[in-house]
Structure 1
Amino acid sequence: MAKDNNTNSKKPKFNSWWIYGIIAVLLIGFQYFSSENFSSAKKTTTSELQDYLRNGDVDKILIITNTNQAKVFLTNEALEKEVHKDIVSKPIIPSSGSVAQYTLDYGDLAIFQNEITAIKKENNLDTVVEFGKESNFFADILISLLPFVIIIGIWIYLMRRMSGGGGGGAGGQIFNIGKSKAKLFDEKTDTRTSFKDVAGLEGAKEEVEEIVEFLRNPDKYTSLGGKIPKGALLVGPPGTGKTLLAKAVAGEAKVPFFSLSGSDFVEMFVGVGASRVRDLFKQAKDKSPAIIFIDEIDAIGRARGKNNFTGSNDERENTLNQLLTEMDGFGTNTNVIVLAATNRADVLDKALMRAGRFDRQIYVDLPDIRERKEIFEVHLRPIKTLETLDLEFLARQTPGFSGADIANVCNEAALIAARNEKKAVDKQDFLDAVDRIVGGLEKKNKIITPGEKKTIAYHEAGHATTSWMLEHAAPLVKVTIVPRGQSLGAAWYLPEERLIVRPEQMLDEMCATLGGRAAEKVIFNKISTGALSDLEKVTKQARAMVTVYGLNDEIGNLTYYDSSGQDSYGFSKPYSEETARKIDEEISKIIEEQYQRAIEVLTEHKDKLTVLAERLLEKEVIFKEDLEKIFGERLFTDEDKKLESTIIEDTTVNNTQEDTNK
């Protein structure tokens, strides 16, 4: 039976173009068969015809006036002669009328007719001369219908192109443009992703697994009076695994799974989006219990009334209204659950977020160190690595990395190992991959003058010295003055992954960030444009302390941050001009205090700063061990920092010309 099924599945599918091809072949065939290619008559000339006439062999001559051709019919006695032995007595295609033995093409009709008449009189012949016209029925039909066929074919082609599809199916014709473009997941043919392939995301995975269980065994919950949730919204930063989680639901659920993107509802025609929403939910109801997954729902789910300055009717709002109605409108959807994913939950419409539509909002956060280790285990399965590879060490090297970033690290490490002709990927390849992704590609051939190189070295040494001497600053483990990406120098730190940050921690970090410019001031008594990224970073931190977190005594316990995003389109500040001036003063005061503090620290340890910079000029890359030889063991140790510590890059010295332009 299996063999028969395979045989049937390999049969070619019917296509409407086959019919057009058969009709075309038939028309061409009729034209070909009715032409002189299949005639039994033999070609002759005017002089030969005259000889046949004089010999009395011609019974009748039929002159076709519209084709300048004549057909010659011989007598029965002439057919017995040796000269006409090559003539076929029977036609290739049977015909009800008489068949000509010869055909010829004449020139001028009057001359041809006069010659025949003269020979008849001269030899006293009774040969019949007739005139007629020849027509081809199929050729006439083809010529008359061909323009209409071409016009209709072009029209059908344009309509199919406008509707965005080729053959049949949803969207294949102009009348199906309002059909849903959702893809129905087939667990037999599509690549199946299970919850085992989703590392980390324990809380989110548990919530989604329960939704699958709702559809598999609804009586377990409805027997106690509970209701199946209408929908779940996956919210989180890009690359954290929202779409992957939905793929796992498609792989695990034993129910129909419709998948599409929010942009699939958007079309150039009015009303198409709402029509596609209706068709999508109609298909889901027909196959219920079912799951609908809408990726990037913010494409149609943005809050209504925003950015509609023209006052015109917004097609996106009509689509959203229809989606709201289908999810929890007058008609109840039984056993149809809607999953959606977005990284911009703050811009979604409040009506979409209320209970009864998206009952659950599942936050998919960036993975912690334990979850990063699990993600590495998943992505390292197809990669050949050394058996001694420490996954916990790799997890510590990637703080703030999402699941997509970790997948990129694994792939980049494999490429680096292959580039170096290695048989397996080792620890150094992963470190190089992290450096490559975070900082960019090394540019060892970049032309830098000795004076610029010395400035860069002291700048990076200033960062290293201040971060090593301050309690809450992240200690530095690697410094390089080799250009990488857009930076002329780079430093890697060991920051801790904090859930809350105190003012002294932020101030120490700002002081360490300003250590590069402070070092230039202490050593050269000059400053440069190389601290652009440092100034940008500390300005944002200081502004956040004053206006967001309420950590400034002068401004007080106030915040001007709106988590709902409602003020993102506002044209006025939520504070007075006097408060704005006071905010600017406090921001400048915080930054200047930390800058002077960095100068004091570097002035106190100027000799060690010089030794560190000279070693950096000599080696171009130094590590934590070099700092311990110069400064000694770091006084501030914290077991929690060691647990969550990892390596990241701070691009401190940017290209001078680019910074000047900025």
Structure 2
Amino acid sequence: MENNNNAFNKPPKNNKTKMFRFNLYWMYGIIFIMLAALYMTNDSSTRKEMGWTEFQKLANQNVFEKITVFNKKNTLEATIKKGQLGVVFKEDSALVGDSPMVFVKIPSADKFSDFYDKAVEKNNIDTSVSFEEGDDTFWNFFISFGPIILLVLVWIFLMKRMSGNAGGGAGGVFSVGKAKAQLFDKDNDKKVTFKDVAGLSEAKQEIEEIVAFLRNPEKYTELGGKIPKGALLVGPPGTGKTLLAKAVAGEANVPFFSLSGSDFVEMFVGVGASRVRDLFRQAKEKAPCIVFIDEIDAVGRARGKNANMNSNDERENTLNQLLTEMDGFGSNSGVIILAATNRADILDKALLRAGRFDRQIHVELPDLNERKEIFGVHLRPIKIDESVDAEFLARQTPGFSGADIANVCNEAALIAARGLKKFVQKEDFMNAVDRIVGGLEKRSKITTAEERRSIANHEAGHASISWLLEHANPLVKVTIVPRGKALGAAWYLPEERQITNKEQLLDEMCATLGGRAAEELFMGKISTGASNDLERVTKQAYAMVVYFGMSDKLPNLNYYDSTGQEWGFTKPYSEDTAKLIDSEVQNIINTEYARAKRILQENAEKHHQLANVLLEREVIYTEDVEHIFGKRPWISRSQEILDLQEKAAEDKPEPAANPDVQPEATETEQ
């Protein structure tokens, strides 16, 4: 379907003759020339030039107080004694300054010495004489005006850096207030469309309305409809918010202004607001178009909560101007604002009200089927063998974003290249996942036999309890090889739940405490190796009590403010309640720790077998744990969840054909 932008067609602008433009550097040049001329012409003392013969006559009359001879220039300067001005300047003596000078060209320094010796001997003159190599006019000029010139140069440099050459062309400091938005014109060959975006099916469906409006605005305006002025893309980092915004511009075939929220903020007061005005001015000239502001929380943070309290904050001025501009253009002007952030909770309420960013589009982490689709895209340029399965890789990467998956594929290719392989294999992808999650293996790190035994018991404790508890995440891999900052690590396959109940949280906490419990039971002492486990358990226990209302003594209470306004300088509960919270948290952790010790005592023999295998082989997998403990009776539940996800994807109806937009998912953001 052809683009129909007649509502926004404008008459072509007349090409005008390029007019004369003022350049700031010309002013600097004029000032420099004036300073040089002033230095050359201005002198507080009167200077009189005379001939060598006349000078000899006056010198014999002892009228000079001091004579300075410049050897290289064959010149001399002489100061006149007080009371002798009339002899030298005659009737002009009343017009000279306080320290008049006489300038004389001499034959040579030797000739002057001979003359002076004879004059002293014959006339007994008492004029003092000094000899110098010569006066450097340029050096004197530099000493006089060097600091001024240096200040001017530093000022020019700072102005150029702070202006960032914004707005293009000459102007220097005068372009500080220009918007630094990057323009992707509709005629650009490197367009991004929905074909370049894998996954994000719900987000793409929600944003199709904006694309349809930009392609065919009359379809909506004829019925009196109004398109939202702004849409806010909210989601974790790496999920494709920026790519999705570019795809909207590519699908709509309109200009696309892209800039970051931090581009508005400078050290100059008022620059942010000026750049906002300039941005919207350019957008109106290019309408219909899209303005995309990435990381808008840099300027859109809630007002009145900054560290400088009541002082005049440049960020707030910029936000105020942004709010004004979003209300300043008509609903059908063809300018749509897209913004992206992963901190929507801290944005100002006025920014999210109806009429501004009145639509929030959530760009979530991809689920199993979307990860499979994303892997399919990133595996295309990679040489893989038959052992690589996109569905298997998708199941091994729960919680990974599109950017993380792209990183996994790239890392696997690098690992295979280091191993001199011709193809990237399944093992390379698993090593890539391990490296991204846990860090690089450090087999050269020296550990004693006792430390290795302690690490093996610790990791075997995690593996044993997670295998024996119903709601704990199923085990994938356990290793005692140091990786990153950890001396050992265990990988699990968490279920992709929509909600989590109390029993599931307690089972996860019990499995996390299994390492410390195994150390105390089977080693007779505890170590610092469980510090990360204790940190996670403590945060989870506090969340259960303070946020989820899962405490027996503090049921159905939530002390979290989801609006982002927080509670100021005081806690939303009393000191007695704080003590009760601490007590409940301690009780939950102690209960689960005792439970972990009890489970390990009941399965001590199997735990020892697992620890010994881990000591011997350093790495064990699900099959090894299953061989010792037997099959998990709850494995069918995890499989059921995966089957339900696949069935939901298969039964999902195809989106209705839109005459304006026909997206096709094939690629994701890297």
TM range (shorter): 0.7 to 0.9
- 1:342 equivalent in alignment to 2:341: yes
Give runs of aligned pairs for residues 610-621 of structure 1, distance below 5 A. 610-621=608-619
The Cα of 1:620 is off from its aligned counterpart by 0.9
- Normalised to the residue count of structure 2, the TM-score between the two structures is 0.72
Confirm or deny that 1:593 pairs with 2:591: yes
Note the C-alpha offset of 1:151: 9.3
Counterpart of 1:550 in 2: which secondary structure? Answer: coil
Other-structure match for 2:485? 486
Alpha-carbon displacement from aligned partner over 1:529-548 (angstroms, at most 9, x marks no partner): 21111111111111111111
CA distance, structure 1, for counterparts of residue 557 and residue 170 of structure 2: 54
Q: 2:279 is aligned with what amino acid? A: L
- The whole-number CA distance in structure 1 between the counterparts of 2:249 and 2:309 is 41
Tell me how far 1:615 sits from its aligned partner.
1.2
Query: Runs in 1 of length 4+ with deviation above 6 angstroms?
Result: 150-153, 330-333
Deviation of 1:310 (Å): 4.3
| CA distance in 2 between partners of 1:261 and 1:309 (Å) | 23
Superimposed CA distance per residue, residues 115-172 of structure 1 (whole angstroms, 9 cap, x where no aligned partner)? xxxxxxxxxxxxxxxxxxxxxxxxxxxx9xxx99x89995894475254345972685
1:631 aligned partner: 629
The aligned residue for residue 433 of structure 1 is: 432
1:603 to 583, 601, 608: 601
Residue of structure 1 equivalent to 2:174: 175
What do the CA deviations read for 1:258-294 (whole angstroms, capped 9, x no partner)? Answer: 1111111111111111111111111111221111110
Name 2:209's counterpart in structure 1. Answer: 210
Contact 1:300–1:319 (CA under 8 A) maintained in structure 2: yes
**Which stretch shifts more, 468-477 or 287-296?**
468-477
Paired AA for residue 604 in structure 1: E
**In structure 2, C-alpha distance between the alignment counterparts of 1:159 and 1:445, rounded to whole Å:** 50
Which amino acid in 1 is paired with 2:221? T
| Residue pairs, 1:57-96, within 5 angstroms | none
Alignment CA distance shift 1:189-1:218 (3 Å): closer
Q: Secondary structure at the match of 2:258?
A: strand
Say whether 1:448 aligns with 2:434: no
Inter-partner Cα distance in structure 1 for 2:313 and 2:561: 26
* Correspondence for 1:580: 578
Query: Which segment drifts farther, 283-292 or 633-642?
Result: 633-642
Q: Is 1:398 matched up with 2:378?
A: no
Is 1:553 aligned to residue 552 of structure 2?
A: yes
Partner in structure 1 of residue 99 of structure 2: none
Greater gyration radius = 1
CA contact (8 A) 2:213 2:227 kept: yes
Counterpart for residue 497 of structure 2: 498
Question: What amino acid maps onto 2:349 in structure 1?
Answer: K
Partner SS, residue 638 of structure 1: helix
Separation (CA, whole Å) in 2 of partners of 1:268 and 1:630 = 65
What one-letter code is carried by the residue in structure 2 that aligns with 1:338? I
What letter corresponds to residue 227 of structure 1 in structure 2?
K
Give yes or no for contact 1:197–1:378 (8 Å, CA) kept in 2: no
Sort the Cα spacing of 1:310 and 1:153 in 2 relative to 1 into closer, same or farther, 3 A.
closer
Say which SS state the counterpart of residue 566 (structure 1) adopts. coil
Separation of aligned partners in 1, 2:639 and 2:575: 42
Shift of 1:634: 1.8
What does 1:238-637 correspond to in 2, within 5 Å? 238-329=237-328, 334-567=333-566, 570-637=568-635
CA shift at 1:525, angstroms?
Answer: 2.5
User: 1:163–1:594: structure 2 CA closer, same or farther, 3 Å change rule?
Assistant: closer
- Equivalent AA in structure 1 for residue 463 of structure 2: A
**Are residues 320 and 526 of structure 1, via their aligned partners in 2, closer, same or farther at CA, if it must alter by over 3 Å?**
same
Give the direction of change, closer, same or farther, for the CA distance of 1:204–1:602 in structure 2 (3 Å limit): same
Query: SS of the counterpart of 2:351?
Result: helix
What is the percent sequence identity of the aligned residues?
67
Cα contact 1:234–1:340 (8 A) shared by 2: yes
User: Contact conserved, 2:229 with 2:335, CA < 8 A, in 1?
Assistant: yes
Instruction: Give SS of 1:307's match.
Output: coil
Q: Is the 8 A contact 2:246 2:256 kept in 1?
A: no
Alpha-carbon separation, structure 2, partners of 1:488 and 1:388 = 30
Cα drift, residue 524 of structure 1: 2.3
Please tell me whether the aligned partners of residues 228 and 355 of structure 2 are also in contact (alpha carbons under 8 angstroms). yes
Q: Which has the higher contact order (CA 8 A, sep 6+)?
A: 2
CA distance in 2, matches of 1:473, 1:152: 67
1:517, CA displacement in angstroms?
1.2
Offset of residue 584 of structure 1: 1.0
CA–CA separation in structure 2 for the residues paired with 1:251 and 1:152: 48
Counterpart in the other structure of 1:220: 219
Unpaired segments of 5 or more residues in structure 1?
1-14, 24-66, 69-106, 110-142, 646-662
Counterpart-to-counterpart distance in 2, 1:321 and 1:438: 42
Q: Look up the equivalent residue of 2:597 and give its one-letter code.
A: I
Q: CA separation of 1:331/1:464 partners in 2, compared to 1, >3 Å: closer, same or farther?
A: closer
1:478–1:158 distance in 2 versus 1, CA, 3 Å: closer
Q: TM-score, normalised by structure 1?
A: 0.73
Q: Distance in 2 between matches of 1:522 and 1:566?
A: 46
CA change 1:580–1:367 in 2 (3 A) is same
Using the TM superposition, give the Cα deviation of residue 487 of structure 1 relative to its aligned residue in structure 2, in angstroms: 0.7
What secondary structure is seen at the aligned counterpart in 1 of 2:321? helix
From the superposition, tell whether residues 579 and 505 of structure 1 become closer, same or farther in structure 2 (CA, over 3 Å).
same
Question: SS where residue 259 of structure 2 aligns?
Answer: strand
Query: In 2 relative to 1, CA 589–257 (structure 1 residues): closer, same or farther, beyond 3 Å?
Result: same
Q: Deviations over 1:324-364 (max 9, x none)?
A: 01101487672110000011111111000001001210011
Aligned to 1:46: none
Code of the aligned partner of 1:515: G
Aligned to 2:212, what secondary structure does the other structure show?
A: helix
Count the aligned residue pairs.
Answer: 519
What amino acid does structure 1 have at the position aligned with 2:214?
L
Bigger mean CA offset, 241-250 vs 272-281: 241-250
**Cα distance change on mapping 1:610 and 1:340 into 2, 3 Å:** same
